[in-house]
Amino acid sequence: MTLALAYWCVLFAALLPYLWVYIAKASGQRYNNRDPRGWQARQDNPRSIRANAAQLNAFEAFAPFAAGVVMAQLTGVAHAQIAALALVFVIARVLHGLLYLADKHTLRSLVWLVGYVCAIALLAMAALKAAAIAPI
């Protein structure tokens, strides 16, 4: 696996929240762009509510993941390790959103944990590699 795969995963993860927001808007009452947050707050369609929650969670998960990929690459973590963790992260995030839509909360939480562990592993490997290069 190459570093390019990890970078494609970062791009995909950056775009993924917009899939969930599209589903939220398509599932609710007729969308009103004049007040998008107020519109979402008034929704009572469970699919729209869950898709919006998936969108928010995807945005929250993106920053540590993207930082982990960049930090791992900058510190010299093996490209195959970075790519593998990035790919598992993206798969977990897609499954997380699908499980959110399906209202499978226990599986959703387990899949969330998989993605979280991938992001933390990238950050930790970068920190360990940096400490080995230039100890504190």
pLDDT digits 0-9 by tens, 42-74: 889 999 999 999 999 999 999 999 999 999 999
Greater model confidence, 6 or 1 = 6
Q: Is 30 left (phi over 0), alpha (psi -120 to 50) or beta?
A: beta
Question: At which residue do the structure tokens 């950056």 appear?
Answer: 14
Q: Using a pLDDT cut of 90, give the percent of the chain over it.
A: 79
Q: What pLDDT sits at residue 63?
A: 97
pTM recorded for the entire structure:
0.92
Over residues 83-133, the pLDDT tens digits come to: 999 999 999 999 999 999 999 999 999 999 999 999 999 999 999 999 988
Which string of DSSP letters, residue by residue, matches 19-86? Answer: HHHHHHHHHSSSP-TTSHHHHHHT---HHHHHHHHHHHHHHHHHHHHHHHHHHHHHHT--HHHHHHHH
- Phi then psi for residue 42, to 5 deg, are -90, -5
Q: What is the mean pLDDT of the chain?
A: 94
Question: At which residue do the structure tokens 């899949």 appear?
Answer: 111
Structural domains in the chain, sorted by start? 3-133 (1.20.120.550)
